[in-house]
Amino acid sequence: MFRAIEFGGVKCSNNVFLAPLAGYTNYPFRKMCISLGAGLTFTEMVSCKGLMYGSEETGKLLICGDESPKAVQIFGSDPDIMRAACESEALAPFDLVDINMGCPMPKIVRNGEGSALMENFPLAEKVIAACVKSGKPVSVKFRTGITEDKKCTAEFARLCEGAGACMITIHGRSRERIYAGKCDFQEIAAAKAAVNIPVIANGGIYSKSDGERMLRETGADGVMIARAALFRPHIFCDFTGREAPPMTELFKEQLIATRELYGERFATVFMRKMAAFYTKGMRGAAEAKRRFFAAQSTEEVLSLAMEIL
């Protein structure tokens, strides 16, 4: 059930992936999840326009190491700009380019990007085909549809395969559901039956048993872990059988790496947020969160983590 997987020449040691999470999947977090057993990780979604205009903030999202394989997620709606981004030196280190066609956030949708492309099949097809022409392996992440009464999962999956995608990831909710409610296993299963490329299932997976059920009921080729990894990155150990290091050890390594790459201020703010995730569900979590968010330096955050985690 949980096994090695290959698509488009990209070889992954297992089929349990870390989802791209805006604001969270920076390099230190991805590196930590790889060490715990994630078979593939994705950057935060990167604006192709921002990349082409040389945005410094966009560049920070692309920081990576020599681990392999690794994937970058991009978004946009202009086929020419998307292809140029795929051909750029900035994306050269990545083994796979994933196109976001599922983001439900209004500011993305208003620009005709993210899940808006599921409302424009011809443009979505052109975007995928243009990226494929770059020579990079290309995957697509999308949802079951725009609304609950107008789902198009299988049809959109066929479009992706026809345009040249080597793998697809399906978030089992429609755009109107955002991140709420149960995933639609039937829609993912229908998409799996409609294509010959690997299908990765995403949404509502908070444990190994959740992942097993997802694969069993959808026939998908793998699973993608999203918010569960923020609360407990050790979830990858559950799938892979790797020994789980103490959370204090992981936190210290993550904090130091984050500070080295992004600076003291960013690391303080970011690691306070991560500490809040890691303590969620613990006894006294509310008080722990208050103390973390009162910390004014990485040293204060680390000292609290050594005491609380």
Domains of the chain, by residue range, sit at 5-240, 247-308
> What's the pLDDT score for residue 1?
85
Q: Where are the alpha helices (DSSP H) in 208-297?
A: 208-218, 227-231, 235-240, 247-262, 264-279, 285-294
Report the run of H or E that residue 145 belongs to, with start and end: strand 145-147
Say whether 98 sits in a helix, a strand or coil: strand
CATH class held by domain 5-240: alpha beta
The distance of Cα 223 from the centroid of its chain, to the nearest Å, equals 11
* Enzyme catalytic residues: 103
CA angle (12, 18, 22) in 5-degree steps = 135
Residues recorded for the chain = 309
Exposure letters 84-119 (e unless 16+ CB within 10 A, then b): ebbeeebbeebbbbbbbbbbbeeebbeeebbbbbbe
> What's the pLDDT score for residue 54?
87
> What's the pLDDT score for residue 178?
84
Instruction: Look up the pTM and report it.
Output: 0.96
CB neighbours of residue 307 within 10 Å: 10
Residue 146's Cβ-side half-sphere holds a number of Cα atoms within 13 Å equal to: 11
Report the run of H or E that residue 131 belongs to, with start and end: helix 121-132
> What's the pLDDT score for residue 7?
98
Query: Which residues of the chain carry a pLDDT beneath 50?
Result: none
CA distance 233 to 238: 10
CA distances from 259 to 27, 256, 299 (A): 12, 5, 11
